[in-house]
Amino acid sequence: MTDKVEFTLAELMIVAASEAWRGDGELLASGLGVIPRLGASLAKLTHSEGLLMTDSEAFLVEEPIPLGPRGDYQPRYSGYMPFERVFDCVWGGRRHAMIGPTQIDRWGQTNLSCVGDYAKPKSAMLGVRGLPGNSINHINSLFVPAHSRRVFVEGEVDMVSGVGFKPERWDDGVRRDLMDIRIVVTDLCVMDFDGPGRSVRVRSLHPGVSFAEVQEKTGFPLVAAPDMGETTSPSADQLALIRRLDPHDLRATAIKGNPPGIRTAA
Site of interaction with other proteins (CB under 8 A): 55-59, 68-70, 82-84, 87, 90-91, 109, 113-114, 118-133, 135-137, 159-163, 169-176, 178
Q: How many CA atoms lie within 13 A of 207 on its CB side?
A: 17
Cβ proximity to other proteins: between 126 and 146 the closer is 126
Cβ proximity to other proteins: between 12 and 163 the closer is 163
Q: If you count DSSP H runs as helices and E runs as strands, how many of each does the chain have, helices first?
A: 6, 14
Q: How far is the CB of 130 from other proteins (least distance, A)?
A: 5
Cβ proximity to other proteins: between 141 and 161 the closer is 161
Q: How far is the CB of 201 from other proteins (least distance, A)?
A: 22
3-state helix/strand/coil string of 67-125: CCCCCCCCCCEEEECCHHHHHHHHHHCCEEEEECCCEECCCCCEECCEECCCCCCCEEC
Q: How far is the CB of 59 from other proteins (least distance, A)?
A: 7
Q: How far is the CB of 144 from other proteins (least distance, A)?
A: 16
Angle, helices 236-245 vs 34-45, to 10°: value is 120
Cβ proximity to other proteins: between 121 and 259 the closer is 121
C-alpha 186/C-alpha 9 separation (Å) is 10
Cβ proximity to other proteins: between 64 and 261 the closer is 64
Cβ proximity to other proteins: between 159 and 202 the closer is 159
Q: How far is the CB of 110 from other proteins (least distance, A)?
A: 9
Surface-to-core class of residue 157, CB atoms within 10 Å of its CB (0-12 exposed, 13-18 middle, 19+ buried): buried
The number of residues in the chain equals: 266
Q: How far is the CB of 258 from other proteins (least distance, A)?
A: 21
| 224 alpha carbon, distance to own chain's centre | 20
How many angstroms separate the Cα of 241 from the Cα of each of 225, 234, 255?
30, 11, 19
Q: Quote the longest CA-to-CA distance of the chain.
A: 58
Cβ proximity to other proteins: between 178 and 236 the closer is 178
3-state secondary structure of 185: strand
Contacts of 135 (CB under 8 A, 6+ apart): 110, 161, 162, 163, 164, 179
Q: How far is the CB of 208 from other proteins (least distance, A)?
A: 31
